[in-house]
A and B are shown apart, each in its own frame.
Chain A
Amino acid sequence: MSQQYPALLVVVPLLSALIISGAGWVNKRLCFPIAVVALGVAAYSCIGLLLRVLNEGVIVYKLGGWDPPMGIAYYVDHLNGLVLSVVSVVAFLNLIASKKSIEQEFPDKMGPFYALYVLMVAGLLGIVVTGDAFNLYVLLEIAALTGYGLLAMGEERAPLATLNYLYMGTIGASFYLLGVGYLYIITGSLNMVDIAGILPSLYQSKAVLGAFIICMVGVWLKMAFFPLHAWLPNAYTYAPSAASSLIAPLVTKVMIYVMIRLMLTVFTPEFAFNIVAVSEPIVWLAVIAIVMGAILALAERNLKKMLAYIVIAEVGYMVGGAWLGNRAGMTGAILHIVNDALMTLCVFLVAGNIVYKAKGYAFDDLKGLVRKMPFTMGAFVIGALSIIGVPPTCGFFSKWYLISGAIQAGHYGFMVALLFSSLVSVVLFFRVIEICYYEPFGDHHGHDHHSEPMDEAPITMLVPLLIVAAGLILVGLYTSDIINHIIEFAIPKGLV
Chain B
Amino acid sequence: METITSIKPLLAVLVSLLVTPMLVSSRAPNVREAWTFVAAAAKFLIILSMLPTILKGTEIVYTVAEFPPGAAIKFRVDAFGMLFALVSSSLWIITSAYSIGYMRGLKEHSQTRYFCYFAFALSATIGVAFSANLLTLYLFYEMLSLATYPLVTHHQDHEGRSSGRKYLLYIMGTSIAFVLPAMLISYDLAGTLEFGKQGFLAGTGSKALMGLLLVMLIFGFAKAAIMPFHSWLPAAMVAPTPVSALLHAVAVVKVGVFCVVRVLTGVFGIDLLGSLNFGPFIIFIASVTILVGSFIALSQDGLKRLLAFSTIAQLSYIVLGVGLLSPKGMTGGMAHIAMHAFGKITLFFCAGAIFVATGKKNISEMVGIGRRMPVTMAAFFIGSLSIIGMPPCGGFVSKWYLVLGSLEAHQMPILFVLLGSSLLNAAYFMPFVYRAFFCKPDEAMFENTVKEAPPFCVVPLVITAVISIILLFYPQPFFRLASMMVQSITGT
- List chain A positions with a Cβ less than 8 A from chain B: 385, 388-392, 397, 400, 403-404, 407-408, 415, 419, 422-423, 426-427, 430, 434, 437-438, 441-443, 445-449, 477-480, 483
Contacts and interface: CB of A to CB of B under 8 A. Distances in A.
B164 interface: yes
9 contacts: A397-B67, A404-B188, A422-B180, A423-B176, A426-B169, A437-B150, A441-B158, A447-B109, A477-B65
Nearest to A402: B184
B108 A446 contact: yes
B99 to A, nearest CB: 16
A404 B73 contact: no
Interface of B: 64-68, 73, 106-110, 135, 138-139, 142-143, 146, 150, 153, 155-158, 161, 164-165, 168-169, 172-173, 176-177, 180-181, 184-185, 187-188
A391 B73 CA distance: 10
A419 B188 contact: no
A448 B180 contact: no
A294 to B, nearest CB: 13
Contacts of A478: 65
Residue among A447, A477, A480 with max Cβ neighbours from chain B (10 Å): A480
A441 B153 CA distance: 12
A411 to B, nearest CB: 13
A390 B68 CA distance: 17
A82 to B, nearest CB: 18
Contact of B157 (A426, A442, A480): A442
Contact of A442 (B138, B155, B172, B185): B155
B161 A434 contact: yes
B188 A442 contact: no
Nearest to B155: A445
B67 A442 contact: no
Contacts of B109: 442, 447-449
B453 to A, nearest CB: 15
A382 to B, nearest CB: 11
A426 B180 CA distance: 14
A446 B68 contact: no
Contacts of B165: 430, 434
A388 B176 CA distance: 9
Contacts of A385: 146
Interface residues of A: mostly helix, strand, loop or mixed?
A: helix
A447 B107 contact: yes
Contacts of B68: 480, 483
B145 to A, nearest CB: 9
Nearest to B140: A391
Nearest to B178: A419
A445 B177 CA distance: 35
Residue among A407, A478, A483 with max Cβ neighbours from chain B (10 Å): A407
A224 B462 CA distance: 64
Contacts of A448: 107, 109
Given A419-B176, A448-B109, A392 B139 contact: yes
A419 B173 CA distance: 10
A419 B157 contact: no
A389 B120 CA distance: 20
B188 A408 contact: yes
A480 B176 contact: no
Given A407-B185, A423-B173, A449 B110 contact: yes
Nearest to B69: A480
Nearest to A406: B184
Contact of B172 (A426, A479, A483): A426
A448 B106 CA distance: 10
Nearest to A420: B177
A483 B176 CA distance: 24
Nearest to A427: B169
A477 B73 CA distance: 9
A441 B177 contact: no
A392 B73 contact: yes
A1 B208 CA distance: 62
> What 10 pairs across the A-B complex have the smallest Cβ distances?
A391-B139, A442-B156, A407-B188, A449-B109, A390-B142, A422-B176, A403-B184, A448-B109, A480-B66, A480-B67
A14 to B, nearest CB: 40
Contacts of B169: 426-427
